[in-house]
Chains A and B, each alone.
Chain A
Amino acid sequence: MRYIDEYRDAKAAKHFAELIKKTATQPWTIMEICGGQTHTILKYGIEDLLPDTITLVHGPGCPVCVTPLEMIDKAIAIASRDDVIFTSFGDMLRVPGSKHDLLSVKANGYQVKMLYSPLDAVLLAEKNPDKKVVFFAVGFETTAPPNAMAVAEAKRRNVTNFSILCSHVLVPPAIEALLSSPLTKIQGFLAAGHVCTVMGYDEYIPLAAKYKIPIVVTGFEPVDILQGVYLAVKQLEEKKHEVENQYSRVVQKEGNRPAKKLLSEVFDTVDRKWRGIGTIPKSGYQLKESYAEFDAEKIFKVENISQPESSICIAGEVLQGLKKPVACSAFGKECTPEHPLGAPMVSSEGACAAYFHYGKINKN
């Protein structure tokens, strides 16, 4: 398959692994921001191909993982109503709230549906005028445009029984929060290619300059990751700190203009709580006042639900790249994909689940 096979090519992978080995003269710590990249790194055993000098830490870029417990409890409260059809992307359904998950709500006889597109939720609302259809609008800048479009479309078609439970988060404020922490070990970033497809990479330029850190916009195939690591290491060795675009086959500097325009029409930027990290200023989207009639939090009055996180789970430190999943005392014991304590064990993109599924061979 074009644009896939050549980026899963053993020769190309080996070529970049060797370049990294030749280039790195000292230890470097690089964070891949996106959960999709973490998934590739573990699925393809990329760390095995890297020299000991390079440490990869897995960032907070899994939307499922960083959705706070209380937001899942809000979703569960809304979904557990007879007058609601609750809809969501697939992997949000298995994320544990403080008591149970959305799949259990479904098992209890309520209507919880997995959808592939938020626009299908608008259609579902039109087909079911006696029900309130809610879409769980989770994700980074990548999934925000389709969610914004669903809301705009519902308004245009006057679909009054559709709403979204909005939990969108933004990448650049998270990078800034990580870099401004005195504990940070991160010396280079692989930025999330698909987020930049929408937003471009203008907003990363001041970050790279302020924190003197290379940021490489990187794709999701194994060769993409290896090339991204190589470009970051090369900059570090040359004492450069620029924003570079490895994923130029997809990403343009200014991003997707119509998508960005739509986002600014529908959403306001607000402070947002991240699971395991805490509140990050200006790191989330919320529906603008002019779209308030589509805001499920307001419609179902769940704004007051709040919930502290599990005390054993070190999800916060894992998501900040301070610890690896295997450093958790609960990893693979109390906490498994069947009984996750924290969100990174739930999603296949979560760092803990990725270690659990693919990591065993390295330990044996």
Chain B
Amino acid sequence: MNTPLDISTGLSCPIPISEYEKVLLAHGGGGTLSHQLIQKMFFSQFDSPLLHAEHDGAVFEAGGNRFAFSTDSYVVQPIFFPGGDIGDLAVNGTVNDLAMCGAKPLYISAGFILEEGFPMEDLWKVVLSMKRAAEKADVQIVTGDTKVVDKGKGDKIFINTSGIGTIEKGINISPLNAKVGDAILLNGRIADHGIAIMSAREGLTFETTVESDTAALNGLVEAMFSVTKNIHVLRDPTRGGIASALNEIAMTADIGIYIEEDKIPITEDVKGACEILGLDPLYIANEGKLLAFVAQEDAEKVLNSVRAHPLGKNAQIIGKVVSEHPKNVVMKTSIGSLRIVDMLSGEQLPRIC
């Protein structure tokens, strides 16, 4: 029998049980349902001004220095995919969350939840991949934890990584800093990671040469800051793609965002896969991309510095912050009309026809 919720202390469930008695996959899909779960369930109870900043990580001061602290869990299936695996993803993801706070990532933790029966050889591959990713990103894995669960109670391997980094004086990154007139910069082609994962997933096999873009972005961010500190917002558009990331920023900062479809870099292969599956690439995950909101006067020199970096060769200014339509993202389509780019309610599902 289910234990009734204790309402004597006023702790009634903020998400009406009548609507969702159980957690659905869509609650983790990065869309409106995820947003509701986080807002109503977690933010309402874990009350902290740092949490409410709605950043990729918490930014705080200690001993006169500023730090960023972030965590993320990795449950990707399949664990090995074209262009990467769960190991480098786990390191790069947390490194990127710190970099998106404007921090220089220093130390990372690694928590493993392993399923009984998981091949040692696969675990070894994942560990080596984490080691290489950490070396490349210039961070150290300094603490960790290992748990093993019964066969069938997990799915091969889950990894949690947390990380901490320092923020240099003069750097102030927050979605709240987005200002009307800011140029929105994207460092390269979108949707590679999501399509690579889908191409390898059981039930959706299709032939493509698309590889995940998984990469640590801290080097690129450093290169950008060496040109100017006048960068207002940084965000890595992972789950939910650039559409969800831009919507989150528009909502947090109460600004309007205008982008142009023709300026958004995308490969022909990814475009083709999206056409076949009936998916919109704007909502597909990236793991080596960043969106930067840069003061208009510095946009050109930041763009040049990004293009000079190996992770930014295809960078583009894709749009700007506007005073019209606050909290909404509007896109000029390839045929010249305007369209709202909305937040998705759940995960994108491939269409029938």
The interface of chain A, by Cβ under 8 A from chain B, is 1, 4, 8-10, 13-14, 36, 42-46, 48-49, 63-64, 87, 89-94, 103-104, 106-108, 113-116, 120, 138-140, 142-143, 194, 222-223, 336-339, 347-349, 356-361, 364
Across the interface, name the chain B residue whose C-beta is closest to A106: B25
Contact in complex: A9, B25 (CB < 8 Å)? no
Contact in complex: B23, A107 (CB < 8 Å)? yes
Given A1-B268, A91-B352, A142-B353, A103 and B19 touching (CB < 8 A)? no
Across the interface, name the chain A residue whose C-beta is closest to B32: A338
B330 to A: closest C-beta gap in Å: 6
- The CA-CA distance from A358 to B340 in the complex, in Å, is 5
Q: How many A-B residue pairs have CB under 8 A?
A: 128
Contact in complex: A13, B335 (CB < 8 Å)? yes
Q: Which residues of A contact B23 (CB under 8 A)?
A: 107
B 269-304 to A, binary, CB cutoff 8 A, 1 in contact else 0: 001100101100000000000000000000000000
Across the interface, name the chain B residue whose C-beta is closest to A5: B334
Does B120 belong to the interface (CB within 8 Å)? no
**CB < 8 Å neighbour of A360 from B203, B328, B348:** B328
- The CA-CA distance from A337 to B343 in the complex, in Å, is 11
Given A92-B352, A116-B203, A361 and B338 touching (CB < 8 A)? yes
Contact in complex: A90, B350 (CB < 8 Å)? yes
Across the interface, name the chain B residue whose C-beta is closest to A45: B337
Given A337-B345, A339-B19, A10 and B336 touching (CB < 8 A)? yes
Contact in complex: A36, B353 (CB < 8 Å)? yes
Q: Which residues of B contact A45 (CB under 8 A)?
A: 333, 337-339
**CB < 8 Å neighbour of B336 from A13, A63, A94, A103:** A13
- The CA-CA distance from A120 to B203 in the complex, in Å, is 7
- The CA-CA distance from A203 to B111 in the complex, in Å, is 63
Given A10-B335, A45-B337, A358-B339, A116 and B277 touching (CB < 8 A)? yes
- The CA-CA distance from A104 to B271 in the complex, in Å, is 31
Does B51 belong to the interface (CB within 8 Å)? no
Across the interface, name the chain B residue whose C-beta is closest to A337: B345
Contact in complex: A361, B339 (CB < 8 Å)? yes
Does B346 belong to the interface (CB within 8 Å)? yes
- The CA-CA distance from A8 to B338 in the complex, in Å, is 14
**CB < 8 Å neighbour of B335 from A223, A347, A349:** A223
Across the interface, name the chain A residue whose C-beta is closest to B350: A90
Q: Which residues of A contact B330 (CB under 8 A)?
A: 361
Q: Which residues of B contact A139 (CB under 8 A)?
A: 352-353
